[in-house]
Chains A and B, each alone.
Chain A
Amino acid sequence: MTAAGTPCFHCGEPIPRGLVIHARVSGRDEPVCCHGCKAVAEFITGAGLGDYYRYRDTSSSRADETPRPDRWAAYDRPELVERLTRAEPNGARSITVLLEGLRCAACSWLADKALSLQSGVLDVSVNPATARARLVWDPAKVRLGDLLRVLEHVGLRPHPLAGEPSEQVALLERRTALKRLAVAGFGNMQVMMFAVPLYFGDAGGMDPAMREYMRLVSMLVSIPVALYAGWPFYQGAWHALRARSISMDVPVSLGIVLAFVASVWNALRGHGEVYFDSVTMFVFFLGLGRYIEMIARHRAGSVADALARLAPVTARRLRGGQVQDVQAVELAVGDELLVRTGEVFAADGVVLEGEGRVDESMLTGESAAIAKPPGSLVHQGTQNLAAPLKVRVAAVAGNTVLSGIVALLERAQAERPRLAKAADRAAAWFLSRILVGAALVFAVWWYVDPSRAFSATLAVLVVTCPCALSLATPTALAAATAALARRGVLVAHTDAIEALSKATHVLWDKTGTLTKGLVRVEEVRPLAELSAAQALAWAGALEQMSEHPIGRAFLASGQPAAAASGVEVHAGRGLEGLVEGRRLRIGTRAFAAELQADQAGGTRPASVPGGDAAEESWVYLGSEQGLLAAFRLTDPLRPEARDCVAGLAALGLRSEIASGDEAATVARVAARCGIDAHAARLAPADKLARLKQLQAEGAVVVAVGDGINDAPLLRGADVAIAMGRGSALAQTSADLILVRDSLEDLPHTVLLARRTQRVIRQNLAWSIGYNLAALPLAALGFVPPWLAAIGMSLSSVVVVLNAMRLSRGSTPRRRPEWPAVRQPEVA
């Protein structure tokens, strides 16, 4: 008997009470939660890859789908593979595959090894940072379909990215950014070294020739920093100006260019201040922040990737009575498709034949299947759950509903309207003050001494701009981003940190955020003489015929059993059918019990709790002999949800649920999380309306979501947070991604955002204050050069050290604690 609460050996999810399934792993029996996990664990160890379980540092994703060997059938056909993949030397082919469920270095090791063991595989490189694998294989020796099947069998869901030039582009972008960062870093170190004698040289009586020399060398080193490392900022500023807007890049570029030009001017003519140290440090820290941000964004993936995961690459076309596997891009309007049970529609279309039931949750968020009789529309990316359908294609490629959504998101991502607006305000504020100040100085000097007006104005611009903007903000943001990344919170847009520090409300989409988002069989309680596994098998056989989400919970847990026959659906009550010659019913208690001829014998089992009934749903299996078993189904609440809501409330953030689910379910979850405000049965548009309403009342709203139906909500929110295991589309519209798929770190993230804002303000106050105090004094000759030198370097050091405080106290957390059973001993 499995002890209650034992986690699954493979995926770490709790094993349904009463269910005993063991996987044979390295000569030991390990408890697992379902047959999917059993198959994966046994396949992994059977292939000699059991080390995976020793090295991984997060649990694997649940193998809740039975692998379907025919899913990859299209990839077995050489002529199709040829078009989908790239040619390599010696007749080999290569393809990039996105691996869903790849979460740690051990996972990538597993994928690498499992593929390398196949004959015909020439090269595998798995990148855990981007969850992509590049495969090179010999088509004469192995079929691509087999390789994809191997990946699926080790529990990683492969998504072949046809063509996929964007990955190569992203890789080059990362490399180039790293090079620019290196130039800025090396340059900055050198210039700093030369700056010390320049600061202190006067006190020690450095001869003027040496001073001149130092300044010229600094200039030489700064040239590549300003031109090469700073290039992206000028590009960004130019794009913004051409679009008649002001982005953060504009004042940044202005600062770099002015400080650099003024320094070069002064270095060449031999007198006046040089600011090469400020320029290089500015470029380096800004570049560092941008680099970290870019890595996070690449990790989150592009919208194009999201589409690749949703829409199938192949389809089955009916032509002249024959079924052909074709590429989805080859489909044309008017083609007839055959879509089997469990397959995803490759295009929008009209049902011609078959009584379909379709899961449209990815478009609408509605979890119940929707009936699709002949004549109704089906959409690309949705899944056919019931009978095979014949569909006539009505829209392909760019004209489908799905690609419409994706295009919308892509545009929103490119324009980043909400973020740009916030940055605009800040930039405009700085720019206007600085420009007005500089103009005033110029006017005054023009009146006093026209020959010095230009240099004085430059000095003002140079000194105010870099000092106020350069180190204060970028160092703090870079430190905060890095500290968050160590805790598994990816920051895709650093501007979100500012918004998060001001947040007043949190809008939750219930499913997948507060709850785990998967209905599962939590407990099996046999009520007659039969084993839990037997009960599950029978229930699974009946539920195979159902498209209700509850039915899928059974399919995930149960062993595929003999098919049921003559299944009748009693709406709202349950199912009835023949399994292995037995008449069985599954559904509500009354419905299941009614099957028994002798009603009086149907005693209510004392063990079935009544109190819990409010929180979970019980489903009963009954035969003609009486009730056989009870199953407890839940969409389990995340264990940390309550603490997270309480933690956020302690920080002054009000939580609110906006869910598309039933009112009763939402109310239950809200009560258990301690949330007062909740609204149920909301369509995505209603959620957005609620968000706008809150924002209109002056609230700064954080939205937490995981599904595609949350994407509009996330896009509208001031800060969008997506769950690590949520849909790819939700992640692309998010500012922050909780990679560990846990809410635990959310309150801390808010706290860190506030500390970051505080540090930025302190830094700004310090540098502006220092400059305001020191500049006039120095200009009037009250400060000796050595004191100015100490003050100047001290000023920078204070700013950097202050920012570094953010990364302190956030050392990586304890590793996840796994019970001893999950660490098999080395055989």
Chain B
Amino acid sequence: MEILYVLIPLGLVLVAFGLWAFFWAAGDGQFDDLDSPGWTVLEDDARPEPTAPPRPPDEVPPQ
């Protein structure tokens, strides 16, 4: 049972490391948006870039 005197501090070090990693991730904004990154993989990479950036059509307001 004496091995616990080593194993528990070792476990605590691991926990501390995990917490440090979590703090880093939170501070880096990894948890700010959990929805949209999932959608980016669905995007077609091969889409040809439009030759000219789309411009809003020049609309004439009524009146």
Partner of B39, one of A68, A69, A109: A109
A66 close to chain B: CB less than 8 A? yes
Known: A126-B33, A178-B26, A563-B63. 7 other contacts (CB 8 A): A47-B54, A55-B39, A105-B35, A114-B54, A179-B23, A221-B12, A555-B62
Q: Is A150 an interface residue (CB 8 A)?
A: yes
Interface of B is mostly: loop
Residues of B within 8 A of A46 (CB): 54
The reply to whether A217 and B53 form a contact with Cβ atoms under 8 Å apart is: no
A109 near B40 (CB under 8 angstroms)? yes
Q: Which of B1-55 contact A (CB under 8 A)?
A: 1, 4-5, 8, 11-12, 15, 18-19, 22-23, 26-27, 29, 31-36, 38-40, 42-44, 47-50, 53-55
**Binding stretch for chain B, among A182-190, A525-533, A731-739:** A182-190
Known A-B contacts A46-B54, A210-B1; the reply to A105 vs B36 at CB < 8 A is: yes
CB-contact partner of B61 in A70, A118, A127, under 8 A: A70
Given contacts A150-B54, A153-B56, are A68 and B23 in contact (CB under 8 A)? no
Contacts of A818 in B (CB 8 A): none
In Å, the complex CA distance between A174 and B31 comes to 9
Within 8 A of B (CB), among A36-86: 39, 43, 46-48, 51, 55, 66-70
Question: Which among B11, B26, B49, B50 is the interface contact of A179 at CB below 8 angstroms?
Answer: B26
- Give me the interface of B with A, judged by CB distance under 8 Å: 1, 4-5, 8, 11-12, 15, 18-19, 22-23, 26-27, 29, 31-36, 38-40, 42-44, 47-50, 53-63
Q: A48-B50, A70-B61, A341-B63 are in contact. Are A129 and B35 (CB under 8 A)?
A: yes
CA distance A51 to B59 in the complex (A): 25
Contact of A175 with B26 in the complex, beta carbons under 8 Å: yes
User: Quick check: A51 and B43 within 8 Å, CB to CB?
Assistant: yes
What are 22 pairs between A and B in contact, CB < 8 Å?
A47-B50, A48-B47, A51-B44, A66-B62, A69-B56, A70-B61, A105-B36, A109-B36, A117-B53, A128-B35, A150-B54, A153-B56, A171-B32, A175-B26, A175-B27, A175-B32, A182-B22, A190-B12, A207-B1, A213-B4, A213-B5, A555-B62
Closest 8 CB pairs of A and B: A47-B54, A560-B62, A105-B35, A149-B56, A153-B56, A105-B36, A182-B22, A108-B36
Q: How far is the CA of A555 from the CA of B63 in the complex (A)?
A: 11
For the complex, give the distance between the alpha carbons of A572 and B47 in Å: 56
Binding site secondary structure of chain A: helix
The answer for the CA separation of A210 and B8 in the assembled complex, in Å, is 12
Complex-state Cα separation, A51 to B45, whole angstroms:
12
B28 to chain A minimum Cβ distance, whole angstroms, is 9
Given contacts A47-B50, A129-B35, A563-B63, contact A69 B58 (CB under 8 A): yes
Write the nearest CB–CB distance from A563 to chain B, whole angstroms: 6
Query: Which residues from B are CB-within-8-Å of A182?
Result: 19, 22-23, 26
B63 touches A43 (CB 8 A): no
Given the contacts A51-B43, A210-B1, A43 and B22 also touching, CB distance less than 8 Å: no
**A49, chain B: closest CB distance, angstroms:** 9
Contact of B53 among A66, A119, A149 (CB under 8 A): A119
For the complex formed, measure the closest distance between the CB of A32 and the CB atoms of chain B, giving whole angstroms: 16
At the interface, yes or no: A675 with Cβ under 8 Å from chain B? no
Contact across chains for A186 and B19 when beta carbons are under 8 A apart: yes
A594 at the binding interface (Cβ < 8 Å): no
| A146 & B56 in contact (Cβ 8 Å cutoff) | yes
